[in-house]
Structure 1
Amino acid sequence: SNRILTPSIMGFDSLFMLIQTVLIFAIGTVGRTQLGTYPLFLLELGLMVVFAAIMYRWLFTGSGLSLHLVLLIGIVFGTLFRGISSLLQRLLDPSEFMVLQDSMFASFTGVDSGLLQISVLIIAVATVPLVVMRRRFDVLSLGRDTSISLGINHTRTVTTVLIVCSVFVGVCTALVGPITFFGLIVANLAYALCRTFRHAWILPISVLLGVVALVGGQLILERVFAFDTALSIVIEFCGGLLFLFLLLRGSIK
């Protein structure tokens, strides 16, 4: 029921930067390189998923807890992670800080092909429970009390969905870097284009919109702007405008 649940608000971007900063602070750029691309990718993904799993399990095992509390705690964790990262970055050697800066912004052009194959496999496996539970999502959209009365285990289903979403977000963030508003744009465009709330239509349309946005945006940057700017900057700008528009219109409750 909440359309502003972005990775940045949940603290995933801040956690990703904290992992990068701690690694360089602890073992340096040489040690980070020796660690290897694949172990580093799996380490980042594992830490982000474990963080989400612990937080969701703690929040949804009690009574009277809502998604608003998840958002609030996500913001608190994000602020904490950014503060620790900022402190450690001030203690880094300037040359190591320059290497760290490359991880601060999303890059869609320098993705490792091997990591891309692993990411596709992980996402494909994580998509299976969503396909199986697609009809339950329609029931969940009726509200907690209604879905429970219709036989849905609300707590377990919502927790499963959020964990799967954390896998998606973790894979994308570890693969290309942190980006805040891309999911906000795609999700709200999918809801606007779909004249139905059936997730059997909303989910594939969201996927197609994401592909069109990334590939089309990269094509425009290449052919029109000659790579004078980064796609992530354009997405952040458009997403920020959409975020303000939704707030001012009163669509988010």
Structure 2
Amino acid sequence: MAERRVLFLGLGLLMICAGFLAWQIRAPYGFILELRAAKLGALVCVGAATGAATVLFQTVAGNRLLTPGLVGFDALFVLLQTLLVVALGGVGAAQIPGGLRFLMELVALAVCSAALFGLLLRRDARDITKMILTGVILGVLLRGLAEMVQRMMDPSEFAVVQQAIFASFGNVDNGQLAVSAMVLLASLAAALRMAPALDVAGLGRETARGLGLNHDRVVMMALLLMAAMVSVSTALVGPITFLGLLTASLARRLTNTHRHAVLLPAAALIGALILVAGQFVFERLMGAQSALAVIVEFFGGLLFLALVLQKKARR
């Protein structure tokens, strides 16, 4: 039953993608299709990466209220953009080739996340709570540092930073998209191969070790895969904090299973479906260009509050 629902999600995504490409298309067809295909690829990659990464993070953390954004990815991205403009100026930052800038951001995010996980989990995975708390504190620190630097910037340079730190699907380079797609596919394939081990790891460290699973190794691998997905997504279009919580919650409700062989593709498809359908409605039907990220964050934040209040009510 759950597998059938995942199949329906895939068919629904294909249909909305076809509508996104073909809706009210006019000549020159090739040029318009190329632009729409690049934006569509970015929407699918970001949605799938965010959804699957959140499922992995919630599994190793043992908490369905957490998202990868809590460990400082978004704050680090904002700080990187701010320091880049401060060092080179608004004009200099704008003149950096898109591919080089993308690789710089991707490497910085991946290295910092690997350092965080490696240093805090080098002994065993019992430090997962310490890792999350450290990530939250680092996120607050980096965000505060970025805001302090932004207050000392010229208004024109501040405008450049603001434009860079908000999620945007309008200017996606095909080379960046290709790299992102390859990293995402490799990470998803590795995560699906680990699905049986993730099912056991979700039972808790002591139970998993009692069943013969190398829990610490599985947790580290899952965190590295999550970091790769989130790094690609954030470097490609910018941070979307609550999208992962929204997709992971919907995937669990829709599939009603704990099997990661079903949860991971379901979350990836739902994430892509939310972004593609949302962009289709706002851009094609309503004529809005930048409302999607704001709406996703709004509903994701409401869901987070609802889950917190529901958990308190159960107590």
Whether these two folds match at TM > 0.5 is yes
SS at match of 1:127: helix
Q: 1:104 aligns with which of 142, 165, 174?
A: 165
Shift of 1:216: 0.7
Q: Percent identity?
A: 42
Shift of 1:229: 5.2
Q: Is contact 1:194-1:202 (8 Å) kept?
A: yes
Distance in 1 separating the partners of 2:309 and 2:148: 35
Task: Report what 2:294 is aligned to.
Answer: 233
Q: Which amino acid aligns with 2:171?
A: G
Shift of 1:62: 3.3
After TM superposition, the structure 1 = structure 2 runs for residues 104-143 of structure 1, keeping only pairs within 5 Å, are 104-143=165-204
Structure 2 residue 223 is the aligned partner of structure 1 residue 158: no
The C-alpha deviation readout for 1:100-154, integer Å capped at 9, x for no partner, is 1101211123322221111101112222321221110111111111211222211
Q: Is contact 1:45-1:170 (8 Å) kept?
A: yes
Q: 2:143 aligns with which of 82, 91, 97?
A: 82
Q: Is contact 1:59-1:65 (8 Å) kept?
A: no
SS at match of 2:126: coil
CA-based RMSD: 1.9
Distance in 1 separating the partners of 2:250 and 2:266: 9
Structure 2 residue 87 is the aligned partner of structure 1 residue 47: no
- In structure 2, relative to structure 1, the CA distance for the partners of 1:64 and 1:131 (3 Å cut) is closer
Mean alpha-carbon deviation: is it higher for 31-40 or for 189-198?
A: 31-40
Count of aligned pairs = 253
Q: Is contact 2:241-2:297 (8 Å) kept?
A: yes
Task: Report what 2:253 is aligned to.
Answer: 192
SS at match of 1:102: helix
Q: Which has the higher contact order (CA 8 A, sep 6+)?
A: 2
Distance in 2 separating the partners of 1:98 and 1:211: 29
Q: Is contact 2:199-2:259 (8 Å) kept?
A: yes
Task: Report what 1:202 is aligned to.
Answer: 263
Mean alpha-carbon deviation: is it higher for 212-221 or for 24-33?
A: 24-33
SS at match of 2:135: helix
Task: Report what 2:119 is aligned to.
Answer: 58
Structure 2 residue 101 is the aligned partner of structure 1 residue 37: no
Task: Report what 1:26 is aligned to.
Answer: 87
Q: Which amino acid aligns with 2:270?
A: L
Distance in 2 separating the partners of 1:175 and 1:142: 34
Shift of 1:246: 0.3
- In structure 2, relative to structure 1, the CA distance for the partners of 1:104 and 1:200 (3 Å cut) is same
The C-alpha deviation readout for 1:133-192, integer Å capped at 9, x for no partner, is 111011111111121122221112101111110111111111111111000000011011
Task: Report what 2:128 is aligned to.
Answer: 67
SS at match of 2:257: coil
Structure 2 residue 264 is the aligned partner of structure 1 residue 211: no
Shift of 1:63: 5.2
Q: Is contact 2:121-2:128 (8 Å) kept?
A: no
Q: Is contact 2:124-2:216 (8 Å) kept?
A: no
Where in structure 2 are there 5+ consecutive unaligned residues? Answer: 1-61
Q: Which amino acid aligns with 1:204?
A: P
The C-alpha deviation readout for 1:215-241, integer Å capped at 9, x for no partner, is 111111124432165100000110011
Q: Is contact 1:17-1:104 (8 Å) kept?
A: yes
SS at match of 1:196: coil
Distance in 2 separating the partners of 1:83 and 1:157: 33
Shift of 1:65: 3.3
Mean alpha-carbon deviation: is it higher for 56-65 or for 15-24?
A: 56-65
Q: 1:9 aligns with which of 70, 77, 88?
A: 70
Q: 2:243 aligns with which of 163, 182, 198?
A: 182
Distance in 1 separating the partners of 2:89 and 2:268: 38
Q: Is contact 1:106-1:178 (8 Å) kept?
A: yes
TM-score with structure 1 length normalisation? 0.93
Distance in 2 separating the partners of 1:5 and 1:167: 18
Mean alpha-carbon deviation: is it higher for 24-33 or for 203-212?
A: 24-33
